[in-house]
Amino acid sequence: MISSKLVVTLMTAISGYTGYAIPGDLPNIETLPHTVLEQLVCGRPCQVYGFTFPDGQIVIDEALAVGADPVATSILVHELTHFLQMKSIAHPGPITCRIWNDREREAFDVQTRWLRDTSVNVHVFSVEMARLNLAGKHPMCTDHSGVALQQSWTKG
């Protein structure tokens, strides 16, 4: 179980990076076995460790040591960034590829910044970034026509 104190602390940091207001209600965060997470998010085996649904619910791999391991915690930071992105819009409209890509870029940027700022030194940060292995793992929407997306986004 992920503590509400940790969630508030992380959302405060994210708000500092992004300027997003922290809503009155915390997100519903559910930890799931990896195979269940894969099926729920991708419908098949995939490299998913966390996901934020359009309603703001966050699911995260129960094998991650969130709160104890900075790399695992940074995955929650990424998902909480998506939660705050969604809550910052009063009347959300359709999600276009551009909006989705911009949100992903921001979430990866916040995740990296948080990891850098919480690392004890540059060497530790470098090791943590290597463990995170973000190279080539930025799932991007490729429909650049600006057409609204009709399906849920998956990371896989």
Alpha helices in 66-142 (DSSP H): 70-87, 97-118, 122-132
HSE (CB half, 13 Å, CA atoms) of 151? 8
User: How do residues 85-109 score in pLDDT, each as one tens digit?
Assistant: 999 987 777 878 888 889 999 999 9
How many other C-beta atoms can be found within 10 angstroms of the C-beta atom of residue 87?
Answer: 18
Q: What is the tens place of the pLDDT at every residue in 6-44?
A: 999 999 999 999 999 999 999 999 999 999 999 999 899
Q: Are 141 and 149 in contact (CB under 8 A)?
A: yes
What is this structure's pTM? Answer: 0.87
Question: For the chain, what's the residue count?
Answer: 156
Measured between alpha carbons, how far is residue 95 from residues 15, 40, 54, 83 in Å? 22, 20, 10, 14
Answer CATH for 4-132 from 2.60.40, 3.40.390, 1.25.10, 1.10.3470: 3.40.390
Residues 104-156: pLDDT tens digits?
Answer: 999 999 999 999 999 999 999 999 999 888 755 556 666 644 443 433 333 33
How many angstroms from the chain centroid is the CA of residue 127? 20
Residue 91: per-residue pLDDT: 72
SS3 22: coil
Delimit the domains of the chain by residue range.
4-132
Instruction: Give the whole-angstrom CA distance, residue 62 versus residue 33.
Output: 5
Kind plus residue range of the DSSP H or E element containing 9: helix 4-18
Check residue 94 and give its pLDDT: 80
